[in-house]
Amino acid sequence: MDSQQPTLLKPFTTIPAHLQTIADYEQQARLHLSAATWEYLQGGAMDEISIRENREQFEQIKLIPRHLKDLTQGQTQLSLFGQNYPHPIFMAPIGHQSLFHPQAEKASAMAAEVLQSNFILSTFTNTDLGELHPENPYKWFQLYWQADRQKSLELVKLAEQQHFKALVVTIDSPHTGIRDRERKAFFQLPENMQHPHTPAHFMASDVAPDQHPLFQGLMHMAPQWNDIEWLIQNTALPVILKGVLHPADAKQAIEIGAQGLIISNHGGRVLDTTISPLTALQMIKATVDPEFPLLLDGGIRRGSDIFKAIALGASAVLIGRPYIYGLAVAGALGVAHTLKILKEEFEVTMALMGTATLKDINRDYIYP
């Protein structure tokens, strides 16, 4: 029996009829990626309990529809930070997209612009910031702290020059998670994929023999609250913190001037057995101003999931793996189709639930 990996399928140039759901795209994407890259994409931290619970919690929440309402003026628009967005399905920052398709982030951004989905470009991008359409109104930049303030600010100023509309600062991964599945597959980034914007705090640091390489090394270069406060004071862009799970952190973020929060456990890829984003969303929603923007990241696979997240207090949601499945299968066309699938499912869910606008969606429509 041949133990070698089967020949990988090339990206499609048209969408096959059998691709109808995100689950379909997930199955198909595996046929287009190497075994190691697939485990990198799908894997999570340690026992991957958080990945499973991120999904399972959506399944446990049930919907309670209301009927006989006038929905003829229905729409999915929302406003964040003074800007209008046509729908609440945003694209999470995912780095190293050349692993999944030759056009990488350029393909994802192109699809996002066509579907009017807000695209968040990762610091770990394989595509230069200037290669994205400068006039696309729906793009934010995600920053990993660059070990010192000046290096971080240089990236922020570059994002400002390229007309990014907001800054997302990821705070939950000063050290990469222990990902067993990825390590067992012997996954490594190709050498030619190293990007000059790679954050310094992910590299080995110089420490004395009597110092701990993690606590006096990597964590010494990680940002602290005063760094984030300084950054907020030195950019005109709205600053959103990504990776917040604790209500006390949410409160402190607001106190130093953060204009939004992305409730996320990093897709279960950093620290296993953290509470799910949906649980954290409810805890944080109860402690902040009702109008303060909270975005949910993690576990979205259906339009009904988007409805549940908004009902529990999210202003918008971020999807990650779903659009990467589309990217692997058919480049920009596949990304656009995955967005279209979720958008249509969400609109149908809204209509069948008796809600005409996002503001109509609340806890009255879900059980428990």
> What's the total number of domains in the chain?
1
Query: What CATH number is associated with residue 338?
Result: 3.20.20.70
Regions of the chain where pLDDT drops below 50? 1-2, 195-205, 207, 212, 214-219
Backbone angles phi, psi at 318, to 5 degrees: -110, 135
Residue 204 lies in a domain: no
Report the candidate in 250, 262, 364 with the shortest Cα–Cα distance to residue 316. 262
Give the residue numbers marked as catalytic. 266
* pLDDT on residue 211: 56
Residue 211 lies in a domain: no
* pLDDT on residue 223: 95
Residues marked as binding for glyoxylate? 40, 144, 179, 266, 269
Mark out the alpha helices in the chain (DSSP H runs): 22-29, 35-42, 49-60, 104-114, 149-161, 180-184, 219-221, 225-233, 247-255, 277-285, 303-311, 321-353
Residue 144 lies in a domain: yes
Residue 311 lies in a domain: yes
Give the DSSP letter of residue 275.
P
* pLDDT on residue 84: 97
* pLDDT on residue 193: 73
Residues marked as binding for FMN? 93-95, 122, 142, 170, 242, 264, 297-301, 320-321
In whole angstroms, what separates CA 302 from the centre of its chain? 15
Give the global pTM: 0.93
Residues marked as binding? 40, 93-95, 122, 142, 144, 170, 179, 242, 264, 266, 269, 297-301, 320-321
SS3 265: coil
Residue 28 lies in a domain: yes
Interatomic CA distance for residues 108 and 91, integer angstroms = 9
pLDDT digits (tens, 9 = 90+) for 181-221: 999 999 999 987 754 444 433 444 454 566 545 444 444 57
* pLDDT on residue 5: 65
Residue 1 lies in a domain: no
* pLDDT on residue 202: 40
* pLDDT on residue 4: 61
Residue 43 lies in a domain: yes
Domain ranges, residue 353:
22-61+83-186+222-363
Residue 216 lies in a domain: no
